């Protein structure tokens, strides 16, 4: 973590990003970005501006800022929510519970991802959960009829919004509708009871294919909040991007971890270039 001009910056997979909700402005010049890159050792730095601008861009966050009732959902979704709540128990819990019982769910969830990243080690998982401290972090679990954890979520409350930071499901239990039960419960709790400004399910993923965002849009009325994405590279990385960008589709066709990481880098460049035209 780095503190710079009142903003906390975190390093995630060698990318430096601001640890603030997307509606909070981040003012950073190119010179300041380069200074941060030197201090952090990151490959590149990324931040956004013009959040929820209305006009469509190639980068967005998935948010929900309007509360629902069960009756306002589609008929099929209402059925799935009721079925999920009937067969599953959704409850508030603590970090210790997730750290001790969530590892099998975490591993099973990664079987559904097409990503260069894996679940990591159990020690890494436990450490990542335990560092999430209340009151800013809140934890939820979903139990099957026998009381076994089949899903969990870690949410973060900051600057008047709620981020769905970590959500994992064991796909072997999808027939019980745990996702509908969990997301309905979370949406209702944070938008109705907590009255947060909006729920943030994160930015467009450039690292792996995910159907979660389309799922939330289709079933629970989430929407895309478009914005501008800014990227500044380390000099050596910038040179590599210039050389490799014309071959990005060929690189993406290779099935190995190195090619996957380079593809993510070049996807950032593709988005950055598209936004320069606007």
In tens, the pLDDT along 40-71 reads 999 999 999 999 998 999 999 999 999 989 99
Whole-prediction pTM: 0.89
Predicted local confidence at residue 278, as pLDDT = 53
pLDDT at 72: 93
pLDDT at 118: 73
Whether 138 and 248 map to the same domain: the answer is no
Instruction: Determine phi and psi for 49, rounding to 5 degrees.
Output: -145, 170
Same domain, 93 and 187: yes
Do both 87 and 178 map to the same domain? yes
Query: Position of tokens 């890159």?
Result: 37
Helix and strand numbers, DSSP H then E, in the chain: 10, 12
Backbone angles phi, psi at 184, to 5 degrees: -60, -45
**Are 52 and 115 in a shared domain?**
no
Dist CA 149 CA 173 (whole Å): 10
Tell me the C-alpha distance between 127 and 137, whole Å.
15
User: Nearest Cα to 157, choosing from 184, 141, 135, 139?
Assistant: 135
**Same-domain status, 158 and 38:** no
> 79 and 6, same structural domain?
no
pLDDT digit string (tens) for 229-249? 999 999 999 999 999 999 999
Task: Give the domain range for residue 188.
Answer: 63-226
Q: Enumerate residue ranges in the chain where pLDDT < 70.
A: 112-117, 208-210, 277-278
Number of independent structural domains in the chain: 2
Residue 277 confidence (pLDDT): 59
Q: How many CA atoms lie within 13 A of 8 on its CB side?
A: 7
Residues 203, 74, single domain; the answer is: yes
**pLDDT at position 153, please?**
97
Query: Do 131 and 193 belong to one domain?
Result: yes
Query: Do 81 and 165 belong together in one domain?
Result: yes
Domain co-membership, 219 together with 237: no
């Amino acid at each position: 973590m780095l503190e710079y001009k009142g903003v906390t910056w975190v390093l995630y997979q060698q990318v430096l990003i601001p640890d603030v909700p997307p509606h909070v402005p981040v003012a950073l010049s190119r010179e300041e970005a380069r200074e941060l890159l030197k201090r952090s050792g990151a490959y590149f730095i990324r931040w956004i501006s013009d959040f929820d601008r209305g006009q469509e861009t190639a980068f967005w966050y998935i948010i929900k800022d309007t509360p629902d009732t069960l009756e306002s959902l589609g008929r099929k979704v209402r059925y799935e929510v009721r079925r999920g709540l009937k067969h599953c128990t959704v409850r508030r819990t603590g970090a210790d519970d997730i750290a001790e019982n969530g590892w099998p769910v975490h591993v099973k969830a990664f079987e559904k991802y097409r990503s260069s990243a894996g679940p990591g080690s159990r020690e890494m998982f436990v450490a990542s959960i335990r560092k999430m401290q209340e009151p800013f972090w809140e934890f939820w679990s979903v139990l099957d009829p026998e009381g076994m954890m089949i899903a969990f979520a870690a949410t973060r409350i900051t600057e008047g919004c709620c981020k769905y930071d970590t959500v994992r499901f064991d796909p072997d239990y999808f027939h019980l509708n745990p996702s509908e039960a969990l997301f309905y419960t979370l949406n209702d709790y944070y938008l109705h009871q907590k009255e947060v400004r909006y729920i943030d399910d994160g930015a467009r993923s450039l690292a792996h294919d995910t159907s979660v965002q389309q799922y939330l849009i289709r079933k629970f009325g989430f929407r895309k909040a478009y914005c501008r994405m800014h990227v500044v590279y380390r000099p050596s990385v910038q040179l590599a991007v210039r050389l490799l960008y014309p071959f990005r589709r060929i690189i993406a066709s290779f099935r190995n971890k190195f090619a996957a990481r380079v593809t993510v880098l070049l996807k950032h460049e593709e988005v950055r270039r598209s936004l320069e035209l606007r």
